[in-house]
């Protein structure tokens, strides 16, 4: 496995050319990119919605998500998703 890209102070951003939006006909959030589309499951959609909404560190992102989900313990899940999303080329770290 490669070294992790994200830590608490890194800022995840959508990759160049990627767009996040809700698709009513698909009944899910999607990422659109040059000539393609990824359908997102609810958890991925929720994390990316926050990343798309405003620039923030991973620590702030996790705090926001915790506030939205009654303090659920989701640190590991978020980090895991961010690394996967980065491997897929969906997001970059600033």
Partner 1 sequence: MTTAGSEQNKAPGSTGGATGMSANNDIRQPLWLLAELTYACPLQCPYCSNPMDYANFKKELTTAEWLDVFRQARAMGATQLGLSGGEPLTRPDLVELITEARKMGFYTNLITSGVGMDADKVAEFKEAGLDHIQVSFQASSEDLNDLIAGTDAFKHKIAMAKAVKANGYPMVLCFVTHRQNIDQMEDILELAISLEADYLELATTQYYGWAMHNRDQLLPMKEQLVKAEAIAHRYQEEQQGKMKIYYVVPDYYEERPKACMNGWGNVFLTITPDGVALPCHAARELPGMELPNIRDVSVKEIWEDSNDFNRFRGYEWMKEPCRSCDEKEKDFGGCRCQAYMLTGDPASADPVCSKSFDHHLIEEALKRGRLEAEKTVSEAKPLVFRNPKNSKKLSASE
Q: Does 21 bind partner 1 (CB under 8 A)?
A: yes
- For residues 45 and 31, the answer to whether their CB atoms sit within 8 Å is no
Q: Does 32 bind partner 1 (CB under 8 A)?
A: yes
Q: Does 26 bind partner 1 (CB under 8 A)?
A: yes
- For residues 30 and 38, the answer to whether their CB atoms sit within 8 Å is yes
Residues 6+ apart with CB under 8 A from 43: 77, 81
**Identified binder of partner 1 from the candidate list 9, 16, 42, 67, rule CB under 8 A:** 16
Q: Does 33 bind partner 1 (CB under 8 A)?
A: yes
CB of 34 to partner 1, least distance (A): 4
């Amino acid at each position: 496995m490669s070294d992790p890209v994200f830590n608490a102070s890194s800022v995840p951003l959508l990759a160049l050319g990627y767009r996040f939006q809700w698709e009513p006909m698909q009944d899910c959030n999607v990422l659109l990119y040059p000539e393609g589309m990824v359908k997102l499951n609810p958890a991925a959609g929720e994390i990316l919605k926050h990343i798309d909404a405003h620039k923030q560190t991973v620590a702030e992102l996790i705090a926001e998500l915790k506030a939205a989900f009654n303090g659920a313990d989701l640190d590991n899940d978020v980090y895991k998703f961010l690394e996967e999303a980065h491997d897929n080329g969906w997001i970059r770290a600033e």
